[in-house]
Every structure is written in structure tokens, then in C-alpha cells.
Amino acid sequence: MIGIFDSGVGGLTVVKEVMKQLPQYQLVYFGDTARTPYGNKSAELVTRYAIQDVRLLLEKGAKLIIAGCNTASAVALDALKREFPDVPIFNVITPAVAKAVSITKVRRIGVIGTTATIGSGIYERLLREKNNGYQVFQQACPLLVPLVEENWLRKPETKMIVRGYLSGLKAKSIDALILGCTHYPLLRTLIQAKVGRRVRVVDPAEETVKTVQRFLATHQDIDSALAKNGKHIFYFSDVTDKVRNIATHWLGQPVKIEQIKIE
């Protein structure tokens, strides 16, 4: 199975893309809703959580892992690869950076993300490594994950907060905006409206699954080890009606969710 983890419901945007681009593969998802958000926690704590999340997914049968969490991708990826050296582990950051580079015309790229993701400086570092004059403008948006987790996707308060976060980036004349958190595609329509049609929005989930697809096409040993045409499995560390509603709405189908304790 393909294993996907996130701090909460945001990783379901990755699930949706797997179901769209790789429909034949069975997947197992873990959303750590009992400990969400990860974005306001220390790198050490996020790393510990991420290792626990991956271990759980492997115990459930995953053979390939997608860190469907930008915060974990930013601060825990190296630790995950050391802890699980024989497991293919994909992050949601480098594919989004590659896409932004391919579409920007003015080399002015915006990034929105959690406090931990923005604080890690990983987007700025990766873009500077391109050594091609890219300018990066970042904005931490710590309120957006809780708003998504509360399913406040269309509330006036959410629109006001998004507008406040994006106003500075809009003034920088960017032409590409990376959604540096997999929760944010759930607000994509609102974000696009506030930043303007001239700015192309990069969805990390979409680009990450494209990367996985290319990987599987050239690694037949891994591809053959993945379960196919099975029923998807969804685990959350805390299950509420909001979680069920978001999952059903976003994936467009009823979702059977199991609660699982993680320590």
C-alpha cells in the first residue's frame, strides 16, 4: 500500500490526488488529529511525531510513504530517511518548488505555510540553490490549519484572515504562489480569488503524486510490492463529525474512518 500521513485532514488533498492519478493503488492514511497542528511545534517534537506516524503506516502494510505534511517534510525528512533507510519516502516540498520554477516568468515566487515550515527556510534555500535569480517572499499563516480543521472553509472570518495574510505577498508582484501546506488546497478557491488571477497557484499534493508516479514507472520492484485494487484505509488519532464531513466532502464519497491511538 501507499502510506500517507499528515497532522490532520490536510493530507487528504494528497489522497485525492493519488486516487485521481494512481487509482489502481491501495492506500492507507493516518491523520494525527489528536495532536494537530504540527506547524506551531518544535522541530524535535514534529520529528518524533513523524517517526511515530511512519512506523504506524508501515505496521499497517505501507511499502511507500508520502509525508503529506509540509511541516514534517521541512523539518523531519532527513530523520525519517535515517530511521527508515529501506523505505521510499516522498516529501511535498521539492515537487512544488520544481513546479513553481517551471511556471514563473518574473522569478518572484510567494510561499505560504505554517510557522514551522516558513521558519525552517527550506523553500528559500531550495530556490536559492537554483542559482538563477529567484526571489522568494514568504508568509506564515498559522491560523489557516485550525480553520480548515474546524471546516470553516467559507466563513467570513476565514476570508478576512486569508486576505490579511496575502496582502503583503500580492504587493510583491509575485506570479507564482506555493501552497506550502497540504491543508491549503482546501482553501484554494478563496486563496486564488484573494491573490488574483495573474498569480498561478501551486498545489503540493498534485505535484508530489506526479513525482511518485514517475518513480513507480522506473522502479518495478517497488511497484510490484504495492497492493492494488484494494479498499483504502483511513485512520485518525481523534475522530469527530468535522473530520468525517471534511473527508466525505473532499474525497466525494463516503469514507470509513477508524480511530487509532498513537504514542
Position 133: which residue type?
A: G
pTM here is: 0.90
- Residues in Cβ contact with 262 at an 8 Å cutoff, skipping those fewer than 6 apart: 30, 32, 34, 52, 53, 56, 237
The grid cell for 239 is 475522530
- pLDDT for 39: 87
| CA neighbor of 180 nearest in space, from 34, 81, 104, 68 | 68
- pLDDT for 250: 86
Domain 2-91+205-259 sits in CATH at 3.40.50.1860
- Asked if 201 and 177 count as a contact pair (C-beta separation under 8 A), the reply is yes
In whole angstroms, give the CA distance from residue 89 to residue 142.
26
Please state, in angstroms and as integers, the Cα–Cα distance from residue 221 to each residue in 59, 60, 63, 85, following that order: 20, 20, 11, 16
Assess whether the previous peptide bond of 37 is cis (omega < 30° from 0): yes
Provide the annotated active-site residues.
69, 181
Question: How many helices (H) and strands (E) are present in the chain, helices listed first?
Answer: 13, 10
**Polymer length of the chain:** 263
- Asked if 52 and 85 count as a contact pair (C-beta separation under 8 A), the reply is no
Residue the block writes with cell 502494510: 61
DSSP state letter for 131: -
- Side-by-side strand order, sheet with 176-180: 135-140, 108-113, 176-180, 200-202
Domain 94-204 sits in CATH at 3.40.50.1860
- Asked if 205 and 29 count as a contact pair (C-beta separation under 8 A), the reply is no
- CA angle in degrees (0–180, nearest 5) for 256-258-262: 150
- pLDDT for 161: 96
Residue-by-residue pLDDT tens, the chain, 263 positions: 999 999 999 999 999 999 999 999 999 999 999 998 998 899 999 999 999 999 999 999 999 999 999 999 999 999 999 999 999 999 999 999 999 999 999 999 999 999 988 998 999 889 888 767 899 999 999 999 999 988 898 899 999 999 999 999 989 999 999 999 989 999 999 999 999 999 999 999 999 999 999 999 999 999 999 999 889 999 999 999 989 988 998 898 888 899 998 87
Q: Where are the domain boundaries for CATH 3.40.50.1860 in the chain? A: 2-91+205-259, 94-204
HSE-up of residue 163 (Cα within 13 Å, Cβ side):
7
Beta bridge partners of 110: 137, 177
Strand, coil or helix: what is 6?
strand
